[in-house]
Amino acid sequence: MATGNFVAYYRVSTNKQGDSGLGLEAQQEMVTRYLNGGEWKLVAEYTEIESGTRQGNDRPKLKEALAACKLYGAVLVIAKLDRLYRDMYMVSKLQESGVDFVCCDNPHMGKSMIQVTAVFAEMEADKISQRTKEALDAKKRRGEPTGASCWKDRSGVLSAENQEKGRSIAAASIKAKADEFAALVLPTINDIRTSNPSITAYGIAKELASKNIPTARGSHWTTQAVKNILARG
């Protein structure tokens, strides 16, 4: 029985199908049947209209659907498995995003398909790891420093300069994640403010909570949390 938030992603192959709804209607029906019953909510739907010659990296609706899944803490629901296994771009993007997904016509095979693909990706990663190890071994044979020792001085102590570099890298990583989340939630906040220009940060927090949108840490929205997002806008 389906529970939680879901984001639907549909694909039709031609502009004609997209305009007429042919193919799309069948996919929507499959999603409706799959989600029948349970305490669930379809928070968003995205339809990709593409031709057979369109390049995989030109799928803005897929990107929007994955962003919505992250925003709402939702599962991506795809009508048919063949929409996935014939599309390596979708497989790679799902892996990279970390978003959970389900295929309505075979809900138990979705993760397996990703796992099979991950096996091949892991094989390639092993090859890269081996090449990296060989390169490091070569540096050691030449007497060159490797790993953390590259950051230390001759006495083996991490210098103040490199300590500062480490703190800067960590701070940059935290900021990047905060900026990424702000970019996801700001469009929703802007819509709320457009519909109610006089709304306060507290009111926005209540609206976000009513839409089941979690904070970056998965907690409840506060006035300060909203102000922090707006400050990044």
Phi/psi at 217 (5° precision): -100, 5
**In a domain? residue 39:** yes
Domain boundary among 79, 113, 147: 113
Average pLDDT (41-47) is 89
**Is the domain of 161 the same as that of 222?**
yes
- Tell me the DSSP string of 97-127: HT--EEETT-TTTHHHHHHHHHHHHHHHHHH
The amino acid at residue 92 is: S
Average pLDDT (117-124) is 52
pLDDT over 70 percentage in the chain = 65
- pLDDT greater at residue 123 or residue 121: 123
Q: What angle do CA 184, 188, 192 make, to 5 degrees?
A: 155
- pLDDT greater at residue 126 or residue 15: 126
Phi/psi at 142 (5° precision): -85, 0
What pLDDT does residue 24 have? 83
pTM: 0.53
Distance, CA of 124 to CA of 98 (rounded, Å): 19
What pLDDT does residue 17 have? 46
Cβ atoms of 43 and 6 closer than 8 Å: yes
**Is the domain of 80 the same as that of 9?**
yes
**In a domain? residue 24:** yes
- pLDDT greater at residue 14 or residue 207: 207
Tell me the per-residue pLDDT of 178-214, one tens digit each, with 9 for 90 and over: 787 888 888 889 889 999 999 999 999 998 888 777 7
- pLDDT greater at residue 86 or residue 144: 144
- Is the pLDDT at 54 greater than 80? The verdict is no
CATH of the domain at 10: 3.40.50.1390
Which of the four pLDDT bands, split at 50, 70 and 90, describes residue 3? low
- Is the pLDDT at 8 greater than 90? The verdict is yes
What residues make up the domain containing 51?
A: 4-113
